[in-house]
Every structure is written in structure tokens, then in C-alpha cells.
Amino acid sequence: MREEKIPPIPNLGQRTDEITIYAGPCSVESAEQFDEVAACVKGLGLHWVRGGAFKPRTNPHSFQGLGEEALKIMKASGEKHGLFTLTEVMDSAHCELVHSYVDGLQVGARNFQNFSLLKKIGQVTADSHKMVLYKRGFAGTVAEWLAACDYISDCGNDNIVLCERGIRTFETATRFTLDIAAVPVIHKQSLYPVCIDVSHPAGQRDLVPSLAKAAVAAGADSLMIEVHPNPPAALSDGPQQLTPEQFEALVAELRQIADVLGKRIV
């Protein structure tokens, strides 16, 4: 029998002992709504709150976000609770505006290959080095994703987090198919941290805990989880958002898994 020399498995996904959670509503709808979630996030000892100000809606007649008003709400709550804030920037024309209000800029799945937006975000964050959370497109390969990171980093900011948020496959039981293997694959091929957005692939809130636990177990560096004080009344993505109580219970479970791995949820 031919003897095969198997190389040692590299230490995948063990770059840091902290797993960051980016939690918050899909859309910022009012100061009260956002602040309730921010207070919950702070109460759990987490550091980042997310929210949509400019929303990439499939249908132009759906709620498009509160725009700059939402950015003001996020900044006020972030300062009040001592939290970092993260929001999506959809348009090159909004980069400076969004950058002036928040701590992290998100590139959404629909802008995966909007290279002029990626370049503009790289330029706008070149001095501040604010985090850019760069989501994978529905039909983007890992190779395309990693290649496009250079549009951002070549402009001066390599503080990039790659966020897997589900891809489109033949399967329709979930909103998107979560490619959990993206975590070890990216860890093998790049030095960027990997975030798993567990809400958008799930599409339904009862699936969120399983995906979140799988993401922690797979070695994700961070998780994105949508949380709304009253999901049935949400102006976007109601079915997949957790209530603050459900989120609290999930964070407790995730902390147990993180403990086993010698990691901390922050």
C-alpha cells in the first residue's frame, strides 16, 4: 500500500480568544426602538450594536430606512451606553456621512462587487481605520470575495471583517444556505477575521440559535444577530429577528460553548 504523508492540520480559527457579537435591529425605526436594543446589548456585556439606516430593499416600495436620522439615533445611543455602532453604507455618495456617525461600516451582500463603493469606503476609512464588515454576495465565491478585499485594503484600510450571510442554492427551506465551511476556508486562505450573520440565512427566528451555536463551534471570530424589541411590528426582516429575551438566552448558551473552546463572547 502506498504510504501517504499527511501534513499536520494548521491551527484553524484560533486567532483570538474573543468572539464579537454585532447585534441590533435590521432597521433603526425610532430612538426608543433602537435604544431598547442598545440597552439590552450593553446589559449583556457586549460592545457593538448594529442597525440599518439605509436599507437595500428588494422592493422600492418597502421601508427604505430613516437615513441620516437613523445615524443620529445610533450615535446618541452608542455614546449613551458606551457601545460601538455598525451600519451599512449602500451608496458611494453616503460614505463620508456614514463614516462621520458610526464606528463600523458594512458593505451589504447586494454590493459585493460594487467596486467603486469598495474603493470609496477604503478611501474614506484610510485614516480612521474604522472596521469594514464586508458581506459575501448571494452568488459570490470565496476567491472573488478575497480578491475584492484588495479594493478596500489597497486604498489604505485593512481593518476588514469578512461576513458570511448565506448564499443562494436550490434549497428554499431557509432564506439562504449558510456556508459554514467559509469559516475554516477563509482562515486557511487569509488573515481576515470571519463573521457569521446567522439571521439572514435563517430567515426565521427559531432557526437562529442553531446557526449561532454552529458558527461559534466552527471557529467564527464574530456573529451578527438581528434583535428587535417587537419583531412582529418590525419594518423589515420581522420573522428572523429575536426578542431581547430570546437574544439574552442565546448569548448565555453561546457563552457556555465559548467557554469550552477557551474563548469569550464580547
Q: Residue numbers of the site for ligand PEP (CB under 6 A)?
A: 26, 52, 56, 108-110, 135, 165, 197, 200
* Residues contacting 13, CB < 8 A, separation 6+: 183, 184, 187, 194, 218, 219, 220, 221
Task: Give the binding range for Mn ion (CB under 5 A) out of 21-29, 87-95, 104-112, 152-160.
Answer: 21-29
The CA distance from 201 to 166, in Å, is: 5
CA distances from 167 to 174, 197, 201, 212, 213 (A): 10, 11, 8, 16, 19
The CA distance from 135 to 124, in Å, is: 18
Select the binding partner of residue 56 from ligand PEP, Mn ion, none (C-beta < 5 to 8 A, by kind). Answer: ligand PEP
Minimum CB distance to Mn ion, residue 237 (Å): 4
Minimum CB distance to ligand PEP, residue 52 (Å): 5
Minimum CB distance to ligand PEP, residue 48 (Å): 13
Select the binding partner of residue 108 from ligand PEP, Mn ion, none (C-beta < 5 to 8 A, by kind). Answer: ligand PEP
Indicate the residue among 110 and 119 with the shorter CB distance to ligand PEP.
Answer: 110
Indicate the residue among 200 and 263 with the shorter CB distance to ligand PEP.
Answer: 200
Cα angle value 139/93/118 (rounded, 5°) = 40
Indicate the residue among 26 and 118 with the shorter CB distance to ligand PEP.
Answer: 26
Residue 26 in contact with Mn ion, rule: CB under 5 A: yes
Which parts of 211-250 interact with Mn ion (CB under 5 A)?
A: 237
Indicate the residue among 13 and 108 with the shorter CB distance to Mn ion.
Answer: 108
Minimum CB distance to ligand PEP, residue 260 (Å): 29
Residue 41, class by beta-carbon neighbours within 10 Å (0-12 exposed, 13-18 middle, 19+ buried)?
buried
The CA distance from 246 to 198, in Å, is: 14
Minimum CB distance to Mn ion, residue 236 (Å): 6
C-alpha of 113 from chain center: 17
